[in-house]
Amino acid sequence: EDQVTQSPEALRLQEGESSSLNCSYTVSGLRGLFWYRQDPGKGPEFLFTLYSAGEEKEKERLKATLTKKESFLHITAPKPEDSATYLCAHPRGGADGLTFGKGTHLIIQP
């Protein structure tokens, strides 16, 4: 069964304190690993798509990496505005609808 597990469930950091969020997945024939950011009461906002092990993508203070079993979202020198829930997902086997993890709720304190 396709599964996506994110850890930690919640993370509180001081402004400027770098860290990483983990997303582990079990699916054969990965057709993309997606990262989204979601603010309270809003729809998920697309961040990155990774397709193959070893791939990396960056956007401002965020960098996403992919291995054969995990993806990491590295956040460098975060700011309070980076506070949000970060979701990872991959396409369901044989279809395009995404299977999401429960997310990591990130809080950056000034």
Partner 1 sequence: EAEVAQSPRYKITEKSQAVAFWCDPISGHATLYWYRQILGQGPELLVQFQDESVVDDSQLPKDRFSAERLKGVDSTLKIQPAELGDSAMYLCASSLVRGKTSTDTQYFGPGTRLTVL
32 contacts partner 1 (rule: CB under 8 A): yes
Question: What's the token pair of residue 103?
Answer: 């997310």
- To which H or E segment does residue 36 belong? strand 33-38
24 contacts partner 1 (rule: CB under 8 A): no
Question: Shortest distance, CB of residue 82 to partner 1, whole angstroms?
Answer: 19
41 contacts partner 1 (rule: CB under 8 A): yes
Question: Shortest distance, CB of residue 63 to partner 1, whole angstroms?
Answer: 18
Tally of CB atoms within 10 A around 11? 17
Which CB sits closer to partner 1, 69 or 92? 92
The candidate with the shortest Cα–Cα distance to 99, out of 33, 14, 10, is 33
Please identify, among the stretches 14-22, 44-52, 53-61, 68-76, the one whose residues bind partner 1 according to the rule CB under 8 A: 44-52
Sign of the Cα pseudo-torsion (56, 17, 19, 109, in order) = negative
97 contacts partner 1 (rule: CB under 8 A): yes
